[in-house]
Amino acid sequence: MNKVIKFAGAQVFSQGKLSQSEDSFWLDGKMVDKPSGEVVEVNAKGCWLLPALTALGVDFCEPARDDIYTLKAGFEAMYRGGFYSALLESCYNPIDSIQRLKAIQSECEKSKLDIRHLAAISLNYDHQNLSEMLELSQGGAVGFGDGGELPADLLFLRRAFDYGSMTQKRFFMQPQEYSLSSKGYVHEGSIADGMGMRAIPKIAETIAVYELIELARNTNCPLHLKQITCAESVDLIKQAQKAGLDVTCDVSVYHLLFDHQILRKLDTNAFVLPPFRESSDKAALWEGLNQGVIQAISLAHKPVLEQDKLTNYESAVPGAISLEIAFSALWERAELYLKDPLADLLKLLTIGPNKVMAMEDSKLNWFLFNPEATVELNKCFFAGQVCNSPLLRQEINGVVQGTMFNGQWRNAQ
């Protein structure tokens, strides 16, 4: 039986705003008036009690690459960041059979978190042989993904959309035309030119966005575009939505924080794909969130070993982790860009991703956030053995103090 939890001095987020600071008592995720039995008291003075978050775009690597990251590390990172729900898709572990889906579901159930899964559109992400999408859909897959690499063969992709449309599950696709981008690793612009770096033009993304939207239109298949990066993509998606197509999209945490100016530091922890674009593109992404064109913020949580980052920029493995720090990194920036900063940011990390996945919002799970606390992001701050974040060794304002998931209180660290 869960104990009553007393949050002393917390402000509770309810009906779109924070309440006045006061003591509140909670049992099984619900506020109660008169507690009975043993009470666990949490010093929450100056803190906010906020709805638990949902993470799109996370890769926990296990089983194929548990030398990099494990499911246990991923679950711990979710607790530290205030995330109760997540959508897993691993480039290392294609869920292309019902056996693989059941195996990973069984492992994730042990976490007591709400973990959902994307199934692969093709066997072993080979982009040649379709997976059994109907069976995977019936087995509980939220939708279907490309493993982070869009098939080059449009005929195969149309076959996949045709078959997948029978399930009415959403296709989660990374818009990237690889014949235009396969040899590049940064944004095509003045900084890349000046530093002699191989670049990826915006049209590598926008051409793919257009193609995917047309396939969705032709097959009547729900579509989600992952990690869009530029203003032109926002415009194309906006037009599709106005035309009545079921097209959603997300933007990653770090694409809201950085633009291609960060290349000047030559920090391989800031090497991600798709690349950071220009400041005008970053502004357009924030405006897309304000307008509702972009429904969710993605975590794009990709662990990379330290030795794969300690090399030349062009030789490094792309990717960054974000689960532990996403909300902390974004909440102050939201003050500059979002109309109703706290409410809108929470929506983009709860209601938005849940709607994309066609799952209900979690109303009984919460996390405690201290907006006044500061922390330096050293290696120990992150779960697992990796710390590949562009914010490593920097100080951030705002810290997740703990979680109340499934009626149980747990300190974040």
CATH number, residue 141: 3.20.20.140
Clarify whether residues 9 and 142 are in a common domain: no
In a domain, 383, yes or no: no
Which residue in 408, 397, 394, 343 sits closest to 369, CA to CA? 397
**Confidence band for 105, pLDDT divided at 50, 70 and 90:** very high
Task: For residue 388, tell me if it sits in a domain.
Answer: no
Q: Are 120 and 135 in contact (CB under 8 A)?
A: no
| pLDDT value at residue 35 | 78
**Tokens 């933007």 correspond to what residue?**
251
Give per-residue pLDDT as tens, 232-258.
Answer: 999 999 999 999 999 999 999 999 999
* 201/228 Cα distance (integer angstroms): 13
Tell me if the pTM is above 0.85.
Answer: yes
Q: Please indicate, yes or no, if residue 57 is contained in any of the structural domains.
A: yes
User: Same domain for 405 and 303?
Assistant: no
User: Which of 28, 68, 64 shows the shortest CA–CA distance to 406?
Assistant: 28
| Residue 63: per-residue pLDDT | 96
Is the per-residue pLDDT at 359 higher than 80? yes
38 shares a domain with 77: no
CB 89 within 8 A of CB 117: yes
Closest residue by Cα to residue 318 from 278, 282, 275: 275
User: If you average pLDDT over residues 52-81, what whole number do you get?
Assistant: 98
**pLDDT value at 1 more than 90:** no
Which residues share a beta bridge with 86?
55, 115
Same domain, 123 and 19: no
Instruction: Indicate if 9 and 32 belong to the same structural domain.
Output: yes
- pLDDT attached to residue 387: 97
Domain-embedded: residue 385: no
Confidence of residue 410 (pLDDT cuts 50, 70, 90): very high
Confidence of residue 183 (pLDDT cuts 50, 70, 90): confident
Gap between the Cα atoms of 218 and 108, Å rounded: 36
Q: Is pLDDT above 90 for 360?
A: no
Two structure tokens written together for 234: 């926002």
342 and 399 in a common domain: no
Structure-model confidence comparison of residues 34 and 115, the more confident one: 115
**The pairing of beta strand 143-145 with beta strand 170-173:** parallel
- Mean pLDDT on 61-79: 97
Specify whether 44 is located in the same domain as 136.
no
Number of domains, the chain: 2
Give the Cα separation of 357 and 115 in Å (integer): 11
Q: Is residue 291 part of a domain?
A: yes
Does pLDDT of 323 surpass 90? yes
Contact between residue 262 and residue 270 where contact means Cβ atoms under 8 Å apart: yes
Q: Which pLDDT belongs to residue 37? A: 79
Mean confidence (pLDDT) of the chain:
96
Co-location of 14 and 143 in the same domain? no
Report H helices in 39-97: 71-81
Q: Which domain holds residue 75?
A: 52-362
pLDDT of residue 337 exceeding 80, the answer is yes
Quick one: 161 and 16 in the same domain?
Answer: no
- Does residue 384 sit within a domain? no
Residue 324 lies inside a defined structural domain of this protein: yes
